[in-house]
A and B are shown apart, each in its own frame.
Chain A
Amino acid sequence: MKKFSISSILSQLLLLFFVIIWIIPTFGLFISSLRDKDLLAISGWWTSLTTTEVNEIYRMSGMESQIEEDGYFKIKGKLFEDNSGKKIESFGITSKKINEFNIGDVAIFKDESEVLLDEDGNYEWRSRTEFKKKKGKRLFTTSLSPPAFTFENYREVLFKEGIGRAFVNTMAVALPSTLIPLIICSFFAYSLTWMKFYGRDTLLAIIIASLVVPLQMSLIPILTIYNDFGALFGVAAKSYPGVWMAHTGFGLASTTFLLRNFLKSLPNEMMEAAKVDGASHYDIFLRIIIPLSIPAFASIFILQFLWCWNDLLVGLVFLDQVPSEIILTAKLKELLGSRGENWEILTTGAFVSMTVPLFIFFALQRYFIRGLVAGSVKG
């Protein structure tokens, strides 16, 4: 833009405002997933971006670790790991006065034992008489903590908490649930566009009507069919093939509709020429339609894949909620419901679940947008 008018500056500021509002939530989750899991539940994620003052409570070791030295019984140890980069500013020995002592001061407990603390968290607790308690006393510290990020949460969550397996399960649901409709709908759309048969227009109208039928309409009848089918053949009612077919059913109308719109735009002469040369419909489909449709396939693949990957309801209804079948979104929902110590699994799990959509988003944004603009209406 050539001119720097007030209105141009205003619109820049307004857009910046929107961008900031839109990115903050995701950014917060990303930062949270990189934080120490103990800090996650006690301080806001934004505090980890700067050096901050944190108040913490630590417990010193008990009697087993005492040694006798210079006429004292001593217990030595560390309050926290070296690599955390924390520097203690002051400390206290009761919850009432947590800033009572500075580094270098000797704090004296009621039982006349004394404690010395340096800023890195090394302490020396000494007493003239032998320590008799299994648990050590508490120290209240106030320290400065620099921004510290770690991939520890990811390592833990991927391999220990079943998120890794849920990732594999989600892939096993989403990939066939995308490819199967793509295969059968491309033939369907082809025949709706280039083959003449009785009832074609009615079929097309049914497809257009099905575009907006909410999938809730199908849940109960299909679940009944699956239960009957399972009982009849002695197989599990909830299974991967069952989910694939359900996703295929729910994605069928929109996939067919989008593909047909694309196929309609191809020149008729090409098909006619091929037919005159003696090509069968299958030849035309393989040799002409498929190569020409790659961009359309890519758009539809992305839309349907993201839909299946991000789905919760279908996975919840048609799969058992057991480790070998649970999908990522259902797992996350489970974690969201349970309160308390699971913050690091929740944040990291959420980010793991987003890796695939975000990769698709950034790598294939062009096709994604093209698919959406082509008019995705999903039932």
Chain B
Amino acid sequence: MTILNLVFIVFLGILFFIAYFHISNYILDIYGNKTLKRYNFENSIRVIVFIAPAFIVLFIFILYPVFETIRLSFYDKFGREFVGLYNYKWAVNDPEFRRSILNNLVWLLVVPTLSTFFGLVIANLADRIWWGSIAKSIIFMPMAISFVGAGVIWKFIYEYRGPENTQIGLLNAIIVSLGYEPQAWLTIPMWNNFFLMAIMIWIQTGLALVIFSAALRSIPKEMLEAARIDGASELKIFFSIIIPYLEQTILVIWTLITIIVLRIFDIIFAMTNGEWQTGVLANLMYDWMFRGGGDSGRGSVLAIVIMIGVIPILAWNLYKHRQEQKI
């Protein structure tokens, strides 16, 4: 496909949706103006016109797939024959699956906690220093970069060359200059997970930082002043006033990053491709989708396990929504 063709279909694709709304509403406007009695009837057609595209997309891309994935998880690899719990039994007994679950849990434990912690500390520091906003910009910047781009960036930190060569990875160069043997960081089982998590923390701290910065402004100045006059140290203020005050925000950010981490795929796919025991559920699922022609049964089981991880959050969101509706 030439670039010119590409520009043409992009233009056409966007125009299609604008045209749909404009033409259908234009027709309704002319028709509706003729007779006011039909206002209610016109109104309900209008609702359908407004909702239809979004609802169809929602149905095809979210609602139907959720049920279809559940169905497929009980079927064979082509989705044709019912096999009961076979795929689930496979998962429970598969060492790769157990490894992925374990890795995912470690990711879920480490990344949201450290990102939230660093975000809070940095937001608090930057708030009181005149060059704080520049510092915030710099720490926030990785948020704009793709996970793969971040992988390339960190390759220059973790790169390994044999001991007889000049090290071009920063970490190994430091290690060598201190007199130790260079290490192939990403291939050391268990520890390599933490080196990959460092990349994610590097990215997500920015998210925590900006949300905390906004929240910090809501803390009443008088309260902080009063504490300072009473002789409380900054550390004491941080733990006794700021953290309790931001409890709700901490919870929100922690959940937000948890949801992102649960689906983590790109970093591992780009850096190690799940080798050296770094695989997580999303990577294993991608493997099963395409490995040897694909196995939709096993892939679906893995998707469902990821889904199970978000169900508590989903339930909590719905509960909160209910509460808001009541008010």
Please tell me if the beta carbons of B234 and A357 are within 8 angstroms of each other in the complex. Answer: no
Tell me which residues across on chain B come within 8 A of A248, comparing CB atoms.
57, 61
Measured CA separation A183–B18 after assembly (Å): 7
Q: Are A208 and B147 in contact (CB under 8 A)?
A: no
Contacts of B154 in A (CB 8 A): 25
A-contact 0/1 string along B252-267, CB 8 Å cutoff: 1000100110110110
With A25-B154, A45-B168, A208-B317 in contact, do A197 and B47 touch (Cβ < 8 Å)?
A: yes
Considering the complex, give the chain B residue whose CB is closest to the CB of A190: B50
The CA of A281 and the CA of B49, in the complex, are separated in Å by 11
Provide the residues of chain B in CB contact with A209, threshold 8 Å. Answer: 314, 317-318
Least CB separation from A185: chain B residue: B54
Min CB gap B54→A, angstroms? 4
Knowing A1-B129, A176-B10, A216-B285 are in contact, say whether A336-B72 is a contact too (CB < 8 A).
Answer: no
Point out the residues of chain B lying under 8 angstroms from A312, CB to CB: 146-148, 265-266, 269-270
- Contact of A336 with B152 at beta-carbon distance under 8 Å, contacts A217-B303, A250-B61 already known: yes
Whether A46 lies near B170 (C-beta < 8 A) is yes
Interface check A22, CB cutoff 8 A: yes
Using known A-B contacts A25-B153, A184-B17, determine if residue A1 contacts B270 with beta carbons closer than 8 Å: no
Please name all residues of chain A whose beta carbon is closer than 8 Å to the beta carbon of B140 when the two chains form the complex: 361, 365, 369
Asked if B9 is at the interface of the complex by the 8 Å CB criterion, the answer is yes
Report Cα–Cα, A18/B136, bound state, in Å: 10
Cα of A43 to Cα of B249 in the assembled complex, Å: 45
B128 contacts across to A, CB distance below 8 A = 1, 8, 11
Contact partner of A12 among B47, B53, B129, CB < 8 A?
B129
Binary B-proximity of A1-37 (CB < 8 A = 1, otherwise 0): 1000001100110111011001111101100100000
Kindly provide the distance from the CB of A42 to the nearest chain B CB, expressed in whole angstroms.
Answer: 6
Interface: B300 (CB within 8 A) = yes
Q: Which of B28, B168, B273, B289 is the most central at the interface, judged by chain A CB atoms within 10 Å of its CB?
A: B168
CB distance from B70 to the nearest CB of A (A): 9
A282 and B28 in contact, given A176-B10, A176-B13, A313-B265 (Cβ under 8 angstroms)? yes
Interface check A222, CB cutoff 8 A:
yes
A213 near B310 (CB under 8 angstroms)? yes
A350 and B149 contacting across the interface, CB-CB below 8 Å: yes
Cβ 8 A contact of A220, one of B10, B202, B296, B325: B296
Interface size classification for chain B:
35 or more
Contacts of B282 in A (CB 8 A): 216, 313
Q: Is the CB of A221 within 8 A of B72?
A: yes
CA distance A347 to B137 in the complex (A): 23
Q: B41 on the interface (CB 8 Å rule)?
A: no
A225 touches B17 (CB 8 A): no
Contact (Cβ within 8 A) A183 B21: yes
Point out the residues of chain A lying under 8 angstroms from B141, CB to CB. 22, 26, 358, 361
Complex contacts, B51 vs chain A, CB 8 Å: 187-188, 191, 203
Which residues of B271-327 are within 8 A (CB) of A? 271, 273, 282, 285-286, 289, 296, 299-300, 302-304, 306-307, 309-310, 313-314, 317-318, 321, 325
CB of A293 within 8 A of chain B?
no
Question: Is A62 on the interface with B (CB-CB < 8 A)?
Answer: no
With A12-B129, A218-B65 already in contact, the answer to whether A183 and B17 are too (CB < 8 A) is: yes
Nearest residue in A to B61 (C-beta to C-beta)? A249
Q: Which of A108-116, A137-145, A238-246 contacts B (4 or more CB under 8 A)?
A: A238-246
Partner of A336, one of B25, B55, B151, B210: B151
**With the chains together, A332 CA to B152 CA distance in Å?**
8
User: What residues on A are CB-neighbors of B142 within 8 Å?
Assistant: 22, 26
Chain B minimum-CB-distance residue to A246? B61
- B223 contacts the other chain (CB 8 A): no
A206 within 8 A of B: yes
In the complex, what distance in Å separates the CA atom of A82 from the CA atom of B50? Answer: 67
B181 at the interface (CB under 8 A from A): no
Chain B hits for A256, CB < 8 A? 54
Among listed A64-72, A122-130, A371-379, interface-contacting one:
A371-379
Among residues 289 to 315 in chain A, which have CB atoms less than 8 Å away from a CB atom of chain B?
306, 309-313
B289, A25: Cβ atoms closer than 8 Å: no
Please measure, in the bound complex, the distance between the C-alpha atom of A333 and the C-alpha atom of B126, giving whole angstroms. Answer: 35
Residue of A188, A241, A346 with highest tally of chain B CB at under 10 A: A188
Supply 23 A–B pairs (Cβ within 8 Å), ascending by A: A7-B234, A11-B128, A25-B156, A28-B170, A43-B166, A44-B170, A172-B6, A180-B13, A183-B21, A210-B62, A213-B62, A219-B65, A219-B299, A219-B303, A222-B60, A281-B46, A316-B286, A325-B1, A332-B149, A333-B151, A336-B152, A358-B145, A379-B62
With A183-B18, A188-B55 known, 18 other A-B pairs at CB within 8 A are A7-B234, A11-B234, A14-B125, A22-B202, A29-B156, A169-B6, A172-B10, A185-B54, A214-B309, A214-B310, A218-B62, A244-B13, A281-B46, A310-B149, A312-B269, A313-B265, A325-B1, A372-B210
Residues of A within 8 A of B (CB): 1, 7-8, 11-12, 14-16, 18-19, 22-26, 28-29, 32, 40-46, 165, 168-169, 172, 175-176, 179-180, 183-185, 187-188, 190-191, 195, 197, 201, 203-225, 240-241, 244-246, 248-250, 252-253, 256, 280-283, 306, 309-313, 316-317, 324-325, 328-329, 332-333, 336-337, 346-347, 349-350, 353-354, 357-358, 360-361, 365, 368-369, 372-373, 375-379
The 8 closest A-B CB pairs, nearest first, are A249-B61, A310-B146, A188-B54, A350-B152, A282-B25, A218-B65, A221-B68, A361-B144
